[in-house]
Amino acid sequence: MSSHDWMGLQKSFPFVLPGRIQYGPGVAQTIGEEARPLGQIAMVITDPGVRDAGLIEPIVSELAGAGLESTVFAEVEANPRIATVEKAAAAAKECQAEMLVAVGGGSAIDTAKIVAAIVSHGGGVLDYEGYDRVPGPVIPLIALPTTSGTGSEVTFWAVATDVSRNYKLAVASVLLAPRVALVDPLLTTSLPPAMTAGTGFDALSHAVEAYTARCSNPISDALALYAIELVALNLERAVNDGADVEARCGMSLASLTAGMSFGNADTSAAHAMGEALGGVFDTPHGLACAVSLPYMTRYNLPAVAEKTARVGQALGLPTAGLPVHEAAEATIEGLIELGKRVGIPTMRSFGVTEADIPKLVSIALLNVGNADNPVDVDEAVFTSLFKEALTRE
């Protein structure tokens, strides 16, 4: 094995980006000209918080100025339920929407992706669960993220909660990628500090997991490392001062590049733990991933020590000159300390007890990302890591 084999330079891999990205402060104002060629009737999908923050009225006004009719669906939850997604799809059919405009975090954008499939091909959410079950093109979607976390504006994935299973199911198809992503950091300035921290850690989790996943590749690696550097430089600033436009720009780019990375590489088993927490306790996704990431990262060290040490460099940790394994261990402590500095709560604060672990483990084992974890995971591994995470004060 050469000293650079861990970088994957001789891998063969695809890299797909079917949508177009328009980035920059103020680009949300171009929604009218972006939407005009796509049809005459739009449905805006969002959540109550984004609506109440006053972010929807300007979007609707721009659409009207471009000669488009629009209807607003503002009932998306933080972890959207199947029933909500199907209600949104019914509303889109009723108004005869020719396009969807998703304004919000990953919940709104993911909802819109699945709605696009249902409106275009019928059925319900469960008909599209899994990989590549969307049979053909869907109505166009324009995504305007209002958080800096999920990267859903550039991915082929969507998740929804099946309350009957306490399970966050995944729908994956390149056909679901937004036609256009309008990434405007100014849409994120009203995000409260706690949500800024949680969604920022979601972006960090995407980047770290994609970088160390079995199916990573040199392009996804480059994007992941850049995302990690941007989080390290900007997350605390954005949490401490939401009006810091430079920090908001940095976090928007971190989320975007992390999304491009994991959209082509996948996340791994830290997300399995996080999504189990979301399914059972309705925990915000970013926080659920944040409390899981350090422990799964430590478990994965035997397979990805070099890469984990490189994560530490990207985080700006003083690991230069340390042996690889010491640098990797320091990286894990750095992740924990960053979480503390921005106010990431403990897993126990979500109401989790040891009695809940068997249920959480059973759900985590179903996650489609487990196969890409750099080290095999099983019931014993998840049980141990949930217990370890619960010990954090």
168 Cβ contact list (under 8 Å, min separation 6): 79, 159, 160, 161, 162, 275, 278, 279
Residues 151, 216, single domain; the answer is no
**How far, CA to CA in Å, does 114 sit from each of 232, 251, 323, 378?**
33, 26, 46, 30
Query: Which amino acid is present at 59?
Result: I
Q: Count the neighbouring beta carbons within 10 Å of the beta carbon of residue 100.
A: 29
Structural domain includes residue 252: yes
Domain boundary at 145, 163, 188, which?
A: 188
Look at residues 188, 206, 223 and tell me which one is the last residue of a structural domain.
188
Instruction: Say how far apart CA 75 and CA 284 lie, in whole Å.
Output: 16
Of 291, 171, 162, 314, the residue nearest 229 (C-alpha): 314
Euclidean distance between the first and the last CA atom of the chain, given in angstroms as a whole number = 41
Please indicate, yes or no, whether residues 95 and 214 belong to a single structural domain of this protein.
Answer: no
Q: Residue 93 is part of a domain; what is its CATH number?
A: 3.40.50.1970
Helix/strand/coil for 40: coil
- The CA distance from 287 to 335, in Å, is 13
For residue 384, the enclosing domain spans 191-390
d(CA 11, CA 134): 29
Query: In which region does residue 321 sit, left (phi positive, over 0), alpha (psi from -120 to 50) or beta (all else)?
Result: left
Tokens representing 59? 């979007």
Residues 150 and 275 in one domain: no
Query: Are residues 183 and 292 both part of a single domain?
Result: no
| Beta bridge pairs of residue 23 | 183
Q: In what order do the strands lie in the sheet with 69-73?
A: 20-23, 180-183, 141-145, 99-104, 41-45, 69-73
Is 50 part of a structural domain of the chain?
Answer: yes
Supply the CATH number for residue 326's domain.
Answer: 1.20.1090.10
Q: What is the pLDDT of residues 308-365, one digit of tens each?
A: 999 999 999 999 999 999 999 999 999 999 999 999 999 999 999 999 999 999 999 9
- For residue 10, the model assigns a pLDDT of 79
Residue 130 backbone zone (phi > 0: left; psi -120 to 50: alpha; other: beta):
left
User: How far is the C-alpha of 242 from the C-alpha of 145, rounded, in Å?
Assistant: 16
For residue 155, tell me if it sits in a domain.
Answer: yes
Q: State how far the alpha carbon of 248 is from the alpha carbons of 184, 200, 239, 269, 298, in Å.
A: 9, 10, 9, 28, 30
Residue 14 lies in a domain: no
Q: What is the pLDDT of residue 11?
A: 79
| CA–CA separation, 277 and 198 (whole Å) | 14
Helix, strand, coil % (nearest 5) of the chain?
A: 60, 10, 30
Tens-digit pLDDT profile for residues 22-68: 999 999 999 999 999 999 999 999 999 999 999 999 999 999 999 99
The residue out of 188, 223, 240 marking a domain boundary is 188
Same domain membership, residue 55 and residue 129:
yes
CA–CA separation, 259 and 156 (whole Å): 10
pLDDT reported for residue 226: 98
> Which backbone phi and psi does 141 adopt, to 5 degrees?
-130, 130
Cβ distance 298 to 325 under 8 Å? Answer: no
pLDDT at position 104 is: 98
Q: Is residue 386 domain-shared with residue 290, that is, in the same domain? A: yes
CB 199 within 8 A of CB 149: yes
| Same-domain check for residues 232 and 170 | no
Q: What is the pLDDT of residue 13?
A: 87
- From 138, 207, 212, select the one nearest 174 (Cα to Cα): 138
What tokens does 185 get? 């950091």
What per-residue confidence (pLDDT) applies to 1? Answer: 42
Residues 169, 219, single domain; the answer is no
Claim to verify: residue 241 and residue 374 sit in the same structural domain: yes
- pTM for the full predicted model: 0.95
H-helix or E-strand containing 22?
A: strand 20-23
- Residue 118: inside a domain: yes
Q: Is residue 7 in a domain?
A: no
Reported as type and span, the H/E element at residue 230 is: helix 218-240
Is 56 in the same domain as 159?
A: yes
Low-confidence spans in the chain with pLDDT less than 70 = 1-4, 393
Same domain? 180 vs 223: no
Query: Domain count of the chain?
Result: 2
Distances (CA, A) of 181 to 10, 22, 143, 205, 390: 32, 6, 5, 21, 38
